[in-house]
Structure 1
Amino acid sequence: MTAPVAAATTAPAPDWRLAAVLVALVVVAVLASRIGGLGVERDQLVAASRAVVQLAVVSLVIAAALGSLAWSLAFVALMFVVASFTSTGRIRAPRAQLPWVMLAIAAGAVPVLVLILGSGVVPFNGPGIVPIAGIVIGNTMTAATLTGRRAYDEITGSFGSYEAALALGLSSPAAAYEVIAPTAREALVPGLDQTRTVGLVTLPGAFIGVLLGGGTALEAGAAQILVLLGLMAGQALTASVLLRLVARGRVVRADLADRYPR
């Protein structure tokens, strides 16, 4: 009886060729920034160095976590906490408001992960949980950050409209929501554009990941559409919840705390 042939992988090998290409890419980025006068050369070097070190450490941690369901869930919890801290900082909200930002991110990530993992479409084990949770949590974090930042930019720029709505008798949450509600669409545009153009303009990470792992193009397409529609749902939930929290003054940018909410 012939032994089954293992699926070939086309993922890059961690050898000297990869190291050389990575160095070359960083050099190109730095030279382009220097020649173009972008002024981000130092930031690029720091970002590249941090990425290499962090991914090396995370790769070792994930390799250990994937073999244990408990450790995989613990790693997902860590990702969620880091995402919440990051988004809170990007919104420039006080740390005391971290639980509200966590609520918004969880409102988007948890239902999507429960549906995907609970249905058995993705197996409930380490190799299934960690990648899909990382993608979903990362993108709901981005939705929270963009929603919060855009909402407070709008409140700052249209504070007169907010005060006018208060003068007409609206409550502070209702007045604020009237001002910030239109900003939600802008926060969701990147995800919507990616979903609209997938396969035509871009081949996102899940698709490429399955192909590099030796999967078929059909399997890659199935994985990618699952991810994209999951992200669309998760980001919409997160944006909706965070907008309400901003309108109710639960998440307030630090520099506006003395005048918002009224």
Structure 2
Amino acid sequence: MTDPAPVRLLAVAPQLDVATAVALVVLAAIAAGVSAFAGLGVTRAQVTAAARATLQLAVVALVVGAVLRSLVLASLFVLVMLLVAAATSARRLGVSTAQAPWAVLAIAAGVAPVLAVTLALGVLPLNPVGVLPYAGIVIGGAMAAATLTGRRAAQELELQRPQYEAALAVGLTPAEATGLVLQPHAAEGLVPGLDQTRTVGLVTLPGAFVGVLLGGGSATDAASAQLLVLVGLLAAQAVTAAVVLRLVAGRRLLRADLQRALPT
């Protein structure tokens, strides 16, 4: 006898219709209206973000429908996601275009082992449907870790320049002095992922869990899929954060003004 729960969940999955469109407009209006009323200063950004998301997802839906027919096309799409993630992170970090390839390296360093392990063990099937969604989630998580870690590193180097200079004065190299300043705050870029993993199922039911249920899978299948996502994100973000810190210490992923301001 089949479990009726997935059937009930499928019945409430949102459809692309007028009601959904109205709901999206109302929700965006609430976000923008509250921001304007409270003086948060992001009203225009919220409206723009909602509009961009709508346009981008419409295009992505068409593209993904095509690339899911070919593993080669899906792999190319993963590469595009990686490059966009690196460009976004580099922009948030305020680094030069010449340093952007280092952002690619940091994010790829986190994503590659996660995909390698899951594919090598057969946890994910080597096909577009198996690779593309998981790779997208992991790339997004690694991008967030790169941005948070890099921004906090730059802030600490600005705030703790005297400590950095003192470390140089006692004979440490610039890389060692940078590492000394950054070490107490090294893990702060990982906090959101840690909190999400610690509270999964207690605070929220994340996307992978709900997606499997809406697709007709069992609760056990949904839990397995979500664990694969969360633990994969922990691994990817840890590697990416570690690489970013090394790159910052080596002045390869650091704003130009800080490079000029910090003595060597």
Q: 1:167 maps to what in 2?
A: 169
Give unmatched runs, 5+ long, in structure 1.
1-6
Q: 1:202 maps to what in 2?
A: 204
Q: 1:186 maps to what in 2?
A: 188
Q: How does 1:31-50 map to 2 (within 5 A)?
A: 31-50=33-52
Q: 2:18 maps to what in 1?
A: 16
Check conservation: 2:93, 2:255, Cα contact below 8 A: yes
Check conservation: 2:210, 2:222, Cα contact below 8 A: yes
Identity of aligned residues (%): 55
Counterparts of 1:166 and 1:253 in 2: how far apart (Å)? Answer: 20
Asked if residue 55 in structure 1 is aligned to residue 54 in structure 2, the reply is no
Offset from partner CA, 1:33-59 (integer Å, 9 cap, x none): 122222322111111111100000001
Deviation at 1:257, TM superposition (A): 2.3
When the two chains are superposed, the root-mean-square deviation of aligned CA atoms in Å is 1.4
Q: How many residues align?
A: 257
Q: 2:94 maps to what in 1?
A: 92
Deviation at 1:261, TM superposition (A): 5.5
Change (3 A) 1:36 1:108: same
Q: 1:67 maps to what in 2?
A: 69
Deviation at 1:216, TM superposition (A): 1.4
Q: In terms of mean alpha carbon deviation, does 162-171 or 210-219 score higher? A: 210-219
SS at match of 1:76: helix
Q: 1:225 maps to what in 2?
A: 227
Which of 110, 115, 125 is the matching residue for 1:108?
110
Counterparts of 1:59 and 1:182 in 2: how far apart (Å)? Answer: 42
Q: 1:239 maps to what in 2?
A: 241
Q: In terms of mean alpha carbon deviation, does 43-52 or 247-256 score higher? A: 247-256
Counterparts of 1:28 and 1:95 in 2: how far apart (Å)? Answer: 37
Counterparts of 1:131 and 1:14 in 2: how far apart (Å)? Answer: 20
Change (3 A) 1:44 1:251: same
Counterparts of 1:39 and 1:173 in 2: how far apart (Å)? Answer: 38
Deviation at 1:27, TM superposition (A): 1.5
Offset from partner CA, 1:138-180 (integer Å, 9 cap, x none): 1001100011000010000000000000000011101110001
Change (3 A) 1:261 1:57: farther
Check conservation: 1:252, 1:260, Cα contact below 8 A: no
- Scaled by the length of structure 1, the TM-score of the pair is 0.95
Check conservation: 2:153, 2:245, Cα contact below 8 A: yes
Name the amino acid aligned to 2:33.
L
Counterparts of 1:109 and 1:211 in 2: how far apart (Å)? Answer: 26
